[in-house]
Structure 1
Amino acid sequence: MAIDVMAMPHQLIASDRVEGTAVRRPNGDMIGHIERLMIDKVTGKVSYAILSFGGFLGIGANLIPLPWGRLRYNMKFEAYELDIDDEELKRAPSFRADKDFDWGDRAKEAELHRYYGMPPYWGGF
């Protein structure tokens, strides 16, 4: 008898199941969804979740790179939880869905981590 490993509750999740998962505030209000994950090729650590919000049917959406440590999974909502108010969300470093973000620019990444008050995934601050 084959066991469906994906149906068993555990701490791991496949990346394709994270993409599209809702991101909500602690009170349950919807913010957006996870567009994609950015994974460090060398360490294998998830560096960022890219939050997609706004727009209509994906057109005009803003993408916000969030340090992975800023999100918490909320089993009650079956969504990732992000404690962020509207002003912080509006000011957050972001880019348009139709533009590219230079992931090789450490200065931009450092600015992103400073904004969220989190140490960079590569160390230092």
Structure 2
Amino acid sequence: MTVETKTRPHQLVASDRVEGTAVRRPNGDMIGHIERLMIDKISGKVSYAVLSFGGFLGIGTNLIPLPWGRLQYNPKFEAYELDIDDDELKRAPSFRADKDFDWGDRSQEVELHRFYGVPPYWGGF
């Protein structure tokens, strides 16, 4: 006897399905892809998506931590959408792929949220 599994449409996605997903502009132009998610240990909420862009074969790749609220999933492109122009992208707080962002330095996170004009996930500026 075979068991037929029916899955109903839902809005949840496994983290391993998000990693590697394309990030595009509203017009469909490719920006990069999601390298990883940063999840708040206490609340369990996704706080950031780390965008990977530029470089070649992992050399010279930049990583940009984005407040999760700046991204929206676009089923048409099967990608996350980020409304950002090239100038803003170049000025965005970032780090090199061979270094890591200091997630323990709250002042860096505050700077990140100010840049994007998004309130911090922990509340207030």
RMSD of the TM alignment (CA)? 1.0
CA distance in 2, matches of 1:104, 1:2: 47
Deviation at 1:58, TM superposition (A): 1.8
Aligned pair count reads 123
**Structure 1 unmatched runs, 5+:** none
Question: Do the aligned partners of residues 4 and 51 (structure 1) sit closer, same or farther apart at CA in structure 2, a change above 3 Å counting?
Answer: farther
Residue 87 of structure 1: aligned partner: 87
Q: 4+ residue stretches of structure 1 with deviation over 6 A?
A: none
Quote the sequence identity (%). 85
CA deviations 1:13-46 (Å, max 9, x no partner) are 0000000000000000000000000000000000
TM-score (norm 1): 0.95
Within the alignment, does 1:31 sit opposite 2:23 as a pair?
Answer: no
**Structure 2 unmatched runs, 5+:** none
CA distance in 2, matches of 1:101, 1:37: 13
TM-score (norm 2): 0.95
Residue 20 of structure 2: aligned partner: 20
Deviation at 1:4, TM superposition (A): 5.9
CA distance in 2, matches of 1:4, 1:94: 42
Residue 60 of structure 2: aligned partner: 60
Moved more, 57-66 or 90-99: 57-66
Residue 5 of structure 2: aligned partner: 3
Residue 97 of structure 2: aligned partner: 97
Deviation at 1:2, TM superposition (A): 3.9
Deviation at 1:97, TM superposition (A): 0.2
